[in-house]
Amino acid sequence: MRVLCVAEKNSIAKSVANILGGGQVKRRDTKSKYIKNYDFTFDFGGYIGTAQVTMTSVSGHLTEASFPSEYNSWSSVPQDILFDARIITSVSKNANVLADNIKKEARNATYLYIWTDCDREGEHIGMEITNVARISNPQIRVIRADFNNLERKHIIQASKRPRELSKDAADAVSARIELDFRLGAIFTRLQTLQLQRAFEILQSKVISYGPCQFPTLGFVVDRWQRVEDFVPENFWSLKLVDKRERQTVNFTWKRNRVYDRLAAILFLEHCLDAKVAKVVKVNQKPTRRYKPLPLSTVELTKMGPKFLRISSKKTLELAESLYTNGFVSYPRTETDQFDSGMDLHGIIGKLTPSEDWGTFAQGLLDGNFRIPRKGKHNDRAHPPIHPISFVHRSALQSQDHWRVYELITRRFLACCSENAIGAETIIELQMGDELFSQKGLIILERNYLDVYPYDKWTGTGQLPAYQVGEEIMPNMLNIIDSVTTSPSYLTEPELIALMDVNGIGTDATMADHIEKVQEREYVVKRKKRGAATEFVPSSLGIALAKGYDEIGLEWSLTKPFLRKEMEVQLKNIETGHLDRDALVQMTLSQFRDVFHLTKQRFDCLKNSCRLYLIELNEG
DNA sequence: GCAAGGTC
């Protein structure tokens, strides 16, 4: 009996082989330097029993979509033909050696045992592997492992309880592939050809459309528009100051602010009429600051730009490099909860040699350990990002590698710590009808904050003692006049947060889309004063977004709704409530209308480009 | 020369 196991990537193949092979694994090289074949014997039990096993892997998707070559010419093929053109699915160029490896290894196997990640894309990759294996061995029986972490017990259990590949999940992916491919080609060609013809400065540019890159651009333009539209407004507020025990206590007005100076004066006069302020509330309560949730990819890509000044794309790349070197766990995960079976103490134990956080880690082992909080996400494929082993600063390739490793490690230790504990005092004064309050915060136990410098919780110190009912004569009561400040341009963490809630891209691709809109020169990254960066749309980016708005589509292509809707429908396919072809046909017919209207009203885009690229740029 | 999703 021979069984061929195929994982989504070499790291999984290697781990699973080592668990199942129990130290008796023979490694063979393949023609790909990333992929190895692992041979061992294993007893699967049940109907398979003891078998000669070869465990290998692919490297993500094996195949890609293309049109037959007669559709390759941009200029002579009318774009709308691509709504119906045949799509060829073939093994992509760099995956040829992997496909050959699978064909060869499948030839003498009775079972093909799929070990791709247990997510939607993994089911599709499993189908791709199946199709390739059946070329050399049409009789091969296909089963699929159901696993979501790499713990020994779990993997052995999974190996004995295979399930079927989910056709529904694979269908959902296949729908996404077809739609993204067709629509990307159709609208990219339309925009590029028409705008290149109309504007000399665009002649060498590809004006691409993508269902993720366009909404990404849209978010940047929306914020830019808010900044443009901003009109500063005056406002007024009351400020009350009391001095006691050599402390100056500033009370803020409960109404916060009014936009009418006369109103502010009236409120002030009412207060002055009352002459004294009365203490109406002294509220003392324990408070805490929650430790962070276990780290997901989206969180990591937000933290990089924010705390390390490293772009989301670069942060993810650095984390991947740390992963392939065995220092951190798999960095592409939606999960923000640790499985209860995970050996967190074991990981903490590995971190104690550090001079940076070793003492803290030891403290956790000596009794400070607390169970991590659980977030709401679990992709059932990977645990939250956490350190795997300890590495010295000097052993890493660069300072930035270290900073990302440090962030991941400190985040992990923070998750295993106690929340920070404080005491909060709220004092409320009433003067006439007006209320004023002040908060005091003392931090009693820093706990996780000691290992996690990315969170700030600053105490305001102890407030002097006040008694309810006490009457005080304020040392100062007056009007403060201020002016509202402009919103700022979108930062990278804000952009990722927007993409996340709107379902634009996946955790692992959001950073790519952000890079893509910059590469296309739709968006420019700008250094803000004080080193933070922000995104501003280019003239071209603004022109596209405004132009599509003008066309008057029900949902503009730069808005996130179309993608959001598609995500919902893909879920429906995945759960068996919607047919794959039905969705594809429905979506294509919807976009056919979008296409014709866009083409018919293309002058909107041209006018917009003329305005933003030429006229407004001349001054 | 087009997309987005895997992965190295």
Nucleotide nearest to A35 (CA to C1'): B8
Two tokens at A374? 């659980």
Nucleotide nearest to A82 (CA to C1'): B2
Residues 499-528 of chain A sitting with CB below 7 angstroms of strand B: 505-506, 508-509, 512-513, 516
Nucleotide nearest to A98 (CA to C1'): B7
The integer distance in angstroms from the CA atom of A515 to the C1' atom of B4 is: 14
- Strand B nucleotides with an atom less than 7 Å from a protein beta carbon: 1-8
pLDDT at A573 over 70: yes
3-class SS of residue A6: strand
Question: How large is the average pLDDT for residues A300-323?
Answer: 95
Question: How large is the average pLDDT for residues A256-275?
Answer: 95
Residues 49-68 of chain A sitting with CB below 7 angstroms of strand B: 59-61, 64-67
pLDDT at A94 over 60: yes
CB A560 within 8 A of CB A502: yes
Angle between helices A167-198 and A120-136 in degrees, nearest 10: 100
H helix or E strand, kind and range, residue A213: helix A213-229
CB A356 within 8 A of CB A394: no
The DSSP-derived string for A179-201 is HHHHHHHHHHHHHHHHHHHH-GG
Taking alpha carbons only, the member of A39, A461, A35, A475 closest to residue A276 is A475
The integer distance in angstroms from the CA atom of A589 to the C1' atom of B3 is: 18
Nucleotide nearest to A323 (CA to C1'): B8
- Does strand B come within 7 Å of the CB of A90? no
Rounded distance between C-alpha atoms, residue A102 and residue A35, angstroms: 11
Catalytic residue among A209, A323, A330, A452: A330
Q: Which residue is nearest to nucleotide B6 (CA to C1')?
A: A60
The integer distance in angstroms from the CA atom of A59 to the C1' atom of B7 is: 5
Rounded distance between C-alpha atoms, residue A91 and residue A116, angstroms: 17
H helix or E strand, kind and range, residue A421: strand A420-431
pLDDT at A531 over 70: no
Nucleotide nearest to A64 (CA to C1'): B5
Two tokens at A36? 């190895």
Q: Residue A149 has what pLDDT?
A: 77
pLDDT tier for residue A485 given thresholds of 50, 70 and 90: very high
Q: Residue A11 has what pLDDT?
A: 87
pLDDT digits (tens, 9 = 90+) for A98-136: 999 999 999 999 999 999 998 899 999 999 999 999 999
Q: Residue A528 has what pLDDT?
A: 79
Q: In this structure, which amino acid lies at residue A361?
A: A
Residues with Cβ within 8 Å of A2's Cβ and at least 6 positions away in sequence, in order, are A51, A52, A53, A54, A108, A109, A110, A111
Two tokens at A397? 């390739």
The DSSP-derived string for A139-178 is T-EEEE---SS--HHHHHHHHHS-B---HHHHHHHHHHHH
CB atoms within 10 A of CB A350: 13
Q: Residue A260 has what pLDDT?
A: 95
Residues 411-470 of chain A sitting with CB below 7 angstroms of strand B: none
pLDDT digits (tens, 9 = 90+) for A377-419: 988 778 999 999 999 999 999 999 999 999 999 999 999 999 9
Angle between helices A213-229 and A539-551 in degrees, nearest 10: 100
pLDDT at A619 over 60: no
The integer distance in angstroms from the CA atom of A183 to the C1' atom of B3 is: 8
Q: Which residue is nearest to nucleotide B2 (CA to C1')?
A: A185
3-class SS of residue A331: coil
Pairing of strands A63-66, A50-57: unpaired
Place of tokens 């009912």: A469
The integer distance in angstroms from the CA atom of A573 to the C1' atom of B7 is: 25
Two tokens at A29? 């090289």
Residues 158-217 of chain A sitting with CB below 7 angstroms of strand B: 176-177, 180-181, 184-185, 188-189, 192-193, 196, 206, 208-214
- Does strand B come within 7 Å of the CB of A79? no
Q: Which domains, from first to last, does chain A contain? A: 2-62+71-165 (3.40.50.140), 171-229+489-618 (1.10.460.10), 234-291+422-483 (2.70.20.10), 297-415 (1.10.290.10)
Q: Residue A569 has what pLDDT?
A: 95
Phi-psi map region of A422: left, alpha, beta (phi>0 left; psi -120 to 50 alpha) = beta
Question: How large is the average pLDDT for residues A285-312?
Answer: 96
Length of chain A: 619
Nucleotide nearest to A177 (CA to C1'): B4
Q: Residue A411 has what pLDDT?
A: 98
Question: Phi/psi of residue A121, each to 5°?
Answer: -65, -35
Taking alpha carbons only, the member of A165, A147, A163, A164 closest to residue A20 is A147
* pLDDT, mean over chain A: 95
Q: Which residue is nearest to nucleotide B8 (CA to C1')?
A: A34
pLDDT tier for residue A483 given thresholds of 50, 70 and 90: very high
Residues with Cβ within 8 Å of A536's Cβ and at least 6 positions away in sequence, in order, are A220, A224, A489, A523, A524, A526
Residues 557-616 of chain A sitting with CB below 7 angstroms of strand B: none
Two tokens at A331? 């960095």
Question: Phi/psi of residue A301, each to 5°?
Answer: -70, -20
- Does strand B come within 7 Å of the CB of A320? yes
CB A271 within 8 A of CB A454: no
Rounded distance between C-alpha atoms, residue A376 and residue A318, angstroms: 26
Rounded distance between C-alpha atoms, residue A609 and residue A195, angstroms: 8
pLDDT at A459 over 90: no
Question: How large is the average pLDDT for residues A497-504?
Answer: 95
Rounded distance between C-alpha atoms, residue A239 and residue A478, angstroms: 6
Rounded distance between C-alpha atoms, residue A282 and residue A426, angstroms: 6
Taking alpha carbons only, the member of A535, A533, A550 closest to residue A598 is A550
pLDDT digits (tens, 9 = 90+) for A177-186: 999 999 999 9
Nucleotide nearest to A73 (CA to C1'): B1
Q: Is A330 a catalytic residue?
A: yes
Question: How large is the average pLDDT for residues A41-50?
Answer: 96
H helix or E strand, kind and range, residue A264: helix A261-274
Q: Which residue is nearest to nucleotide B4 (CA to C1')?
A: A180
Residues with Cβ within 8 Å of A236's Cβ and at least 6 positions away in sequence, in order, are A257, A258, A259, A260, A261, A263, A264, A479, A480, A481, A482
CB A306 within 8 A of CB A505: no
The integer distance in angstroms from the CA atom of A39 to the C1' atom of B6 is: 25
Question: Phi/psi of residue A451, each to 5°?
Answer: -110, 0
pLDDT tier for residue A145 given thresholds of 50, 70 and 90: very high
Q: Residue A150 has what pLDDT?
A: 79
pLDDT digits (tens, 9 = 90+) for A214-250: 999 999 999 999 999 999 999 999 999 999 888 899 9
Residues with Cβ within 8 Å of A193's Cβ and at least 6 positions away in sequence, in order, are A74, A75
